Amino acid sequence: MYPSRRGRLGGKSKADADEPDGVSETPVERHGQLQVVGTTLCDDSGDPVQLRGMSTHGIQWFGWEEFLTDAALDALADDWQADCCRIAMYVQEGGYETDPEGFTDEVRRIVDAVLDRGLYAIVDFHIHDPGDPLANLDHATTFFETVAAEYADSEGVIYEICNEPNGVAWDRIKAYAEAVIPVIRRYDPKGPIVVGTRGWSSLGFAEVGSEGPREIIENPVDGENLLYAYHFYASTHGQWERDRLAAAADELPIFVTECGSMEADGDGTNDFESTREFMDVLADNTISWAFWNYSDDWRTSGVWTEGTTDGSWTEANLTPTGQWVRETLRDR
């Protein structure tokens, strides 16, 4: 198997972790507590940071034991050399609302496994139907109260409070965010929080009647260390979106918490040329990203071939999507 390129935090402080023990630092050891300075995500020294990694699929289908195991996460950390892992906890569709305690336990288990490898864990409250985040406000309050209280002292947790609002005005999303953020901040005063945006986190571009990022710029969410989500699928989206994303990045802190090289339904053909052009915009603007999705789903977006299980996390079992993303992540 591939050599681990990292030590394990294992109780080491960041200072200790710098010990020249022949093993490179983990992303959390290297960057520490993240913060938003102006429109840029920065590390604890104030230097800009671009995190790059994967999103899980919905953990109700591809969660711990079904798919995510220690071996799967070792491959993501040590072979793929990801900086972050987004944990997609659907609220509907057989998700959190069916078993709040059980799904909170599952998120806790995956967050701990991600942090143990020194990767940043993005806790994704994965709503998109219903598109109005206020429909899930009570669930969000309960869930994030528990998660923020438990991870308040961790340097490696990022809170994504609503995956893809849609069909609602910016005011409602802002109202939801300004109800949930204080719940998190009561326990975790600094952890970065990503707020979903109109039109399936398109910054409003995909929402009829939206004025796009202007609505956010003129009426931002109240709080510190906040970022706004943008999602793209490179076979569906192109230069029109790339130009507007680059312009928005001049005025807003953005995190691409979900993106893909295929159609917006997670399937269809890959357009790796368009994906590369999107990745260039993200790199030029130091925008972090998580690719959809770390699973063996049959759709184009699954990075592992169907039936990949423990012990078979080798290049031979990667789909074309997986080959492309792994190479991109390893290309430092």
Burial of 217 (0-12, 13-18, 19+ CB in 10 A): middle
Minimum CB distance to ligand IDC smaller for 26 or for 324 = 324
Number of residues counted as binding ligand IDC (CB under 6 A)? 15
Backbone angle region of 195, left / alpha / beta, with phi > 0 → left and psi within -120 to 50 → alpha:
beta
Cα separation of 332 and 305, whole Å?
Answer: 25
Q: How far is the CB of 13 from ligand IDC (least distance, A)?
A: 36
Give me the catalytic one of 29, 106, 215, 258: 258
Which residue is nearest to ligand IDC, using beta carbons? Answer: 266
Nearer to ligand IDC, 62 or 170 (CB): 62
Candidate list 29, 79, 241, 258; residue touching ligand IDC; CB under 6 A = 258
If the CB atoms of residues 129 and 327 are measured against ligand IDC, the closer one turns out to be: 129
Identified binder of ligand IDC from the candidate list 26, 60, 163, 321, rule CB under 6 A: 163
Our finding on whether 265 is near ligand IDC (CB under 6 A) is yes
For residue 49, give the 3-state DSSP assignment. coil
Residues with Cβ within 8 Å of residue 66, at least 6 apart in sequence = none
Shortest gap between Cβ of 91 and ligand IDC (angstroms)? 11
Residues 29-88 interacting with ligand IDC (rule: CB under 6 A):
none
Answer for the pair 300, 270: CB distance below 8 angstroms, yes or no.
yes
- Are 319 and 305 in contact by the 8 Å Cβ rule? The answer is yes
Say if CB 291 and CB 325 are below 8 A apart: yes
Site for ligand IDC, residues 188 to 247, rule: CB under 6 A:
200, 231, 233
Per annotation, catalytic residue among 106, 160, 164, 207: 164
- Looking up tokens 């336990």, which residue turns up? 105
Candidates 31, 86, 117, 128; binder of ligand IDC (CB under 6 A) is 128
Q: Where would I find the beta strands (DSSP E) of 97-179?
A: 120-126, 157-160
**Which residue, 79 or 297, is less far from ligand IDC as judged by CB?**
297
> Does residue 218 contact residue 251 with C-beta atoms inside 8 Å?
no
User: Which of 299, 324, 325, 326 forms a contact with ligand IDC (CB under 6 A)?
Assistant: 299
Residue written as tokens 């967050």? 111
241 given a catalytic annotation:
no
Q: Please report how close the Cβ of residue 90 comes to ligand IDC at its closest, in angstroms.
A: 7
66 counts as catalytic: no
| Residue 271 to residue 233: CA distance in whole angstroms | 9
**CA–CA gap between residue 141 and residue 139 (Å, rounded):** 6
Q: How far is the CB of 30 from ligand IDC (least distance, A)?
A: 29
Positions marked catalytic = 164, 258
Q: Which residues contact ligand IDC (rule: CB under 6 A)?
A: 93, 128, 163-164, 200, 231, 233, 258, 264-266, 292, 297, 299, 301
